[in-house]
Each structure stands twice: as C-alpha cells, then as structure tokens.
A = this chain, B = another copy of it.
Amino acid sequence: MSEAVSRPTLEAVAARAGVSRATVSRVVNGGDGVREPLVERVRQAVEELGYVPNQAARSLVTKRHDAVAVVIAEPETRIFTDPFFALQLRGISKELTAHDNQLVLLLTEGRDDHTRVARYLAGGHVDGALVFSLHLDDPLPGLIEGAGVPTVFGGRPGWSDGSNSAVYVDCDNRGGAQDAVRHLVGLGRRRIAHITGPLDQTSAADRLQGYRDVMGEPDPRLVVLSDFTVGGGERAMGELLDRCPDVDAVFAANDLTALGALRVLRERGRRVPEDVAVIGFDDVLPVTEQSAPSLTTVRQDIEEMGRLMARLLLRALTRGKPATGAPSSLILPTTLVRRASA
C-alpha cells in the first residue's frame, strides 16, 4: 500500500518544455491554437514527467467536475436481487466513461441519508445527477430539485404526470402490459390474472393500467398485489389459485414475480402453458431463459435506458447554460418476447 507522491504541475511541464503555463494548458486541453512543433515539445514533456492535471485546481476555475452522481434510493433489498439496477448502472457507466465523466454512487437507505444526499448535490461536487425515484411518496426528488442540480430520473417520477418538467427515461410500461395481455387474449385465454408490483412505483401502476386497458372491467379477484420479488410472486400465485381455480393465464408485473408464479404452478400440478399461460416483464435473461419453462416476457432494454439517461444529462450539461430547448423525457418501446410459457 504505497504512499501517493507529489505529482508534477503544469509549471514543471512548462519549464521542461521551455514554454509558458498557458501554452501547456492549451495543449493539455486539446491543443487548439498552438503550433505543431510546440505541441510536440509539450506532449513530450508531459510524457516524460508523467503529468496528470490536478482536477481540483481545474474544477476550481471551470466550475465543471466531469462527474455525475447516481442516486439509488432503495431501502428494500430489491436492488440486491434484481439485476435491473446493475444493468442500468452498466449502461450509465459506459456512457459516462465514453465522455470522460466519473460516476459517483450515492446509495441511500433511509430518511437520514436523504438530507445527506441533498447536501452533497447542493455542494457542487458533481455536474448533475441521475436519480432512481422509485416510490410515490419519496421526498428525495423534491430535495434534489431544491439542490438546483440538473437531474434526469430513471423511471417516471410519481409526482410527474407529464405536466411536470422533470426529465426522465422510462419504458412504455403501459403499452408493454397491453401487448402482453392482448397476446394472452389472442391465445384464447379468458381468465387472465395480473400479479402487480408495488403500486407506489409508477412502473407497477402503469403496468396494472395497461392490463386494465385491455381487460375492461376484470373480475377484481384476478388482480393480486405483490412486490416485484420471487417470494411475493409465490405468495400471490398461491392466493390466486385459491380464489380463482379457473385462472388460465397470468401476467406478472416482472420476471421475478413470474418466476415465483411458475414455481407455485408447478407445485400445484398446473402445466404451463397448457393449463395456465404466464408472461413476465423486463426480460432479465438469466431469469427468463433459465426458468422452466422458459419465460415469455415483455422486453425492455434496461442497459440502453441507463445509457440514455446519462446521454440526456450530459447533453443538458454541455449545451451551454442557455436553455436551448430543454431536453425532454424519453419513453422507450417494449417488445414481446415469445418463449415457452405463453
């Protein structure tokens, strides 16, 4: 565990190359307006000295940090069992890296953390924030707005009904759900149930809405509340089977839930898809491909969503301060992926 040594400064490079600090600075930042031979001399000096710019000094004057905060507010354990966040993080990371921005991860567990995060964002450590706002009553979005940091949300924030100015990236939860249920209808199913996600999250609420759009006025017993987890899916499916033994199709709010449903159906001796067809949502490959039977699901490109969130933010950041047409939210399409379960 070696100690950090003091790094060479611009000054040192300038001395070595026999030029002024300003010239070195120009070369380091792209080299525009500096004649070729000088550029070469400076480059060499940089190389020889192993010069790396001091980011703190640079930020102090530019007020840019080339860093973006990713705020994940997930008190539940979902983040640790659902590959969803990891995939989105990967997309974000790729995009940020491509634009030389750093990713500062802010994990929050409870209310105390919220003020901490708000303070951090307000402190001007980062140029912007990518926020996963998962619950309707979450105070975080408000705090963040107050911090005055450009922000893009992952998933439609609960308090934004389109009227609001919040920028977010989401998939077409409602449309995807409609597709799923229509497919089930097309299969000739009549008793189509829905196992929901936690309805204080817009993704879950929107999927339920899509289900309702197609079903019209469904038997209320066909809708069971759940929580996006395998265990929750199991419990819900059990309940469902108890109160509607004639159910012949299930649209689960996500793949994990579908997995739980599949398990219970098998235990209870129902054949999938012969007796009961099952459709999930997300298309998290390790789940959908390895389940038995493999899972028909509504695919959303999670990694791409992460990438787009970052891109949207970065664009807003570079597009000089004037609000040259505020960036608007993005709703990505979904596609139904047919496998064995429906």
Partner of A290, one of B113, B151, B231: B231
Kindly provide the distance from the CB of A164 to the nearest chain B CB, expressed in whole angstroms. Answer: 11
Whole-angstrom CA separation of A323 from B167 in the bound complex: 49
For the complex, count residues of A whose C-beta is within 8 A of B: 68
Chain B residues in 8 Å Cβ range of A57: 56, 60
Partner of A52, one of B55, B103, B107, B122: B122
Q: Is A44 an interface residue (CB 8 A)?
A: no
Whole-angstrom CA separation of A5 from B201 in the bound complex: 31
Bits for A70-109, please: 1 = Cβ < 8 Å to B, else 0: 1000000101110101110110011001000011111101
* Stretch in A142-150, A154-162, A330-338 touching the partner: A142-150
Partner of A2, one of B81, B85, B116, B145: B145
Query: Which residue of chain B is the closest to A117 with respect to CB atoms?
Result: B97
Chain B residues in 8 Å Cβ range of A93: 105, 107
Partner of A60, one of B56, B292, B316: B56
Kindly provide the distance from the CB of A261 to the nearest chain B CB, expressed in whole angstroms. Answer: 13
Q: Is A240 an interface residue (CB 8 A)?
A: no
Interchain CB contact under 8 A, B113 and A3: no
Kindly provide the distance from the CB of A183 to the nearest chain B CB, expressed in whole angstroms. Answer: 27
